[in-house]
């Protein structure tokens, strides 16, 4: 079908200032002649299809943004969105596993012969305290902190407990508490407390830990020392059958 052009003098009034009224069919003919590529007839002649619009995620909560897409392109973009979500989940899992791998202690630090971790007797605890308070042992103290900082954990509580478990056996920790009540050794006044705080904050997972957080978890760890020691002494149930 050939589009009929509307004469210009039918559009404009004789004064060329006011438009005259046109019938709907005449307006459609005028639109098709001025925009042939966007007319339905032109699209049908070319055999093209109207494409759906895909709303982008970037426009959520803002002005709508659409991209003309074919059905195949919409399917591909949906697959890419699914792949991106799966990739984000994998990255989160890899980060978690990387923090768990840090649970392996770092290289051994050269220490006096009577100081070996975990400390098994109060005499060894006293020797370690003297070692930490000696100014000339500053570099060695920093190496101890770096070594303890490699002990893993997923939060402040676990990192604190894992480091204390590396420093003391359950038997020795049962003879220590925070304030030193009941004739126990006061951890709050020990040089090892400062060492613990430094090691926790040097760990990549707990760099922003506060003294109050570490203190709370250290108090709880020492309070549970007796329970841990008791559980270790209980023999496992017999699996023999008559």
**Which of 42-51, 83-92, 152-161 comes out lowest in average pLDDT?**
42-51
Nearest to 176 by CA among 232, 230, 119, 231: 119
pLDDT (0 to 100) of residue 241: 46
Residue 18 pLDDT grade (very low, low, confident, very high; cuts 50, 70, 90): very low
pLDDT (0 to 100) of residue 99: 60
Sorted by sequence, the CB contacts under 8 Å of residue 131 that are 6+ apart come out as 111, 112, 115, 137, 140, 141
More confident residue, 95 or 234: 95
Query: Does the pLDDT value for residue 11 go beyond 60?
Result: no
Query: Does the pLDDT value for residue 194 go beyond 60?
Result: yes
pLDDT (0 to 100) of residue 109: 55
pTM: 0.54
pLDDT (0 to 100) of residue 163: 96
Quick one: DSSP state of residue 9?
H
Residue 236 pLDDT grade (very low, low, confident, very high; cuts 50, 70, 90): low
Percent of the chain whose predicted confidence (pLDDT) is above 70: 59
Q: Cis omega (within 30 of 0) on the bond before 118? A: yes
Output the furthest CA–CA distance in the chain (Å, rounded).
117
């Amino acid at each position: 079908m050939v589009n009929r052009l509307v004469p210009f003098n039918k559009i404009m009034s004789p004064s060329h200032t006011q438009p005259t009224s046109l019938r709907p069919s005449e307006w459609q003919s005028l639109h098709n002649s001025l925009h042939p590529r966007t007319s339905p007839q032109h699209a049908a002649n070319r055999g093209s299809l109207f494409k759906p619009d895909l709303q982008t995620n970037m426009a959520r909560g803002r002005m709508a943004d659409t991209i003309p897409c074919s059905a195949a392109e919409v399917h591909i973009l949906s697959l890419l969105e699914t792949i991106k979500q799966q990739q984000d989940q994998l990255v989160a899992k890899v980060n978690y596993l990387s923090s768990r791998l840090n649970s392996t202690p770092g290289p051994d630090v050269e220490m006096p012969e009577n100081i070996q971790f975990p400390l098994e007797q109060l005499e060894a605890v006293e020797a370690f305290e003297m070692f930490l308070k000696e100014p000339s042992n500053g570099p060695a103290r920093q190496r101890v902190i770096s070594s303890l900082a490699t002990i893993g954990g997923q939060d402040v509580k676990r990192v604190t407990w894992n480091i204390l478990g590396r420093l003391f056996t359950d038997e020795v920790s049962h003879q220590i508490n925070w304030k030193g009540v009941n004739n126990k050794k006061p951890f709050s006044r020990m040089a090892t407390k400062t060492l613990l705080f430094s090691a926790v904050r040097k760990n990549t997972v707990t760099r922003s830990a506060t003294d109050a957080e570490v203190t709370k978890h250290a108090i709880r760890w020492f309070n549970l020392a007796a329970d841990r020691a008791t559980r270790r002494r209980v023999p496992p149930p017999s699996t023999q059958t008559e």
